[in-house]
Structure 1
């Protein structure tokens, strides 16, 4: 079987060098990349196939997370619909850097980000996956009460709904339709058995993300990476914010991030990081 196609979403606006790097990393190991969008997108690497998001999900409004104003909720729904309509395709967020080609014999491709959660930042599921079916059904209702919540919490939410004040998903904690839901439905269906160890897709812990940029911490970051690592999560929203505030938006020379840009021929001055939330993250 040929390498899976990598599907991504950037609703609109210019890509920064962070997204360029991640997209180019997939191209450079031989994956075809399809970047879905709804508005005009700039700074797209050569070789990427652009496709309008309406091919997957026809929307004129985009759900945003209440606290962060992020479009991650819409991105969650989009990837679930995409996987039901695509063959030999793996979803990747635009902050997933590819170390090695992604390969799967079952169509499953995902991994543990922490001891509690399987992340969907990189997500491959067969179109007939029971977990995928559960994710789709749940996200049909923006006021759904997550079935994995404790009964006490669900009762409070039911009472609010009966009083005419249902809780919208945008007001729920971060990751409710993302890692929390993915983990729940993969456990429920038994498909969690396919989840990779953290070293494969999320080797650098969230709390150590700054070390990806820091030249003095390069050796420490390298210890997280193993021969099994196929991707490095770059924590896009937080990383962009951090990069925009230091060194004129340019990563420290000698750090892992800077070396990856050099490896793939990405000039950070040509597509600077802007201190704002990402278009989809």
Structure 2
């Protein structure tokens, strides 16, 4: 089955992410971006839906309080999106792709089975994620979100000890301690507990350039990346380079030529 694609975004979209959204549409997917404010200049074929109906804006206060101006601080958006994608899974909304996932080919899933890939040797990525609504991982997040302190029961012992020590120093929230505690680390721990690691695709399926952005932004021989049939897409993680111009000879330039406006 070729699923609908869903994601969440807070703030303006940069040129790279607009390119990635165009690639998702070009591969034949219906794409919807959830946001709290209307998003301008979305590519043709990309819908914009209200995020408040999925997870209220106020939930961010349980992660990290905003400043006096109400602006989300530090990694609030990242942690909020970790919960948001699980809420979408509970609603059977579709396949989650981060807005910086560039598709090279269509994604096909079995709606009865999880869909994700290894990001690192011992860690799953959650930038590409589908879970059936009744999956144990979805249920674990549904239970967690009811807690005031948002402290998972799947934390590794070292993370529990770290949190205990930090609480003695005045930390109130687990979200103050570890930026990705609800993201890939959580997905990996829960998939292991549920016996679902066997569903994980190889790292290169989506994360061939994730750890080395230069493979995407700098000129080089890209034939191994563009010609590999096992690479479905690229999670890019631009780290501040989302509005830089593509350099000729780079994978970015190849993508811009293929999916550019």
TM-based fold match above 0.5: yes
Deviation per residue, 1:215-262 (Å, 9 max, x gap): 1x234x7359621111101113x1xx2465xxxx21211211011011
Please give the per-residue CA displacement for 1:185-240, whole angstroms capped at 9, x wherever unaligned.
0100011111101011112241x21121111x234x7359621111101113x1xx
1:198 aligns with 2:200: no
Q: Following the alignment from structure 2 to structure 1, what is the Cα–Cα distance between the partners of residues 188 and 235? A: 18
Give 1:129's aligned residue.
135
- How much does 1:86 deviate? 2.0
Q: Residue 36 of structure 2 corresponds to which residue in structure 1?
A: 38
1:51 to 49, 52, 67: 49
Which of the pair is proportionally richer in helix?
A: 1
Q: How many residues align?
A: 252
Pair 81,149 (structure 1): closer, same or farther in 2 beyond 3 Å: closer
**Aligned mates of 2:249, 2:226 — CA distance in 1:** 17
- Distance 1:256-1:157 versus aligned 2 partners, 3 A rule: closer
Which residue of structure 2 lines up, in the alignment, with residue 110 of structure 1? 116
2:213/2:236 contact within 8 Å kept: yes
TM-score normalised to the size of structure 2? 0.86
Matches of 2:224 and 2:73 in 1, distance apart? 34
Which residue of 246, 255, 262 corresponds with 2:250? 255
Q: Is structure 2 residue 224 aligned with structure 1 residue 218?
A: no
Contact 2:7 2:99 in 1 (8 A): yes
RMSD: 2.6
2:194 to 177, 189, 209: 189
Runs of 5+ in structure 2 lacking a partner? 66-71
CA drift at 1:168: 1.2
CA distance in 1, matches of 2:257, 2:148: 43
Instruction: Give ranges in structure 1 of 5+ residues lacking alignment.
Output: 267-281
* 1:58-99 C-alpha deviation (Å, 9 max, x unpaired): 223534599944510000110001110125x10111011111
Corresponding residue for 2:3? 4
Residue 79 of structure 2: aligned partner: 73
Task: Classify the secondary structure of the residue corresponding to 1:49.
Answer: strand
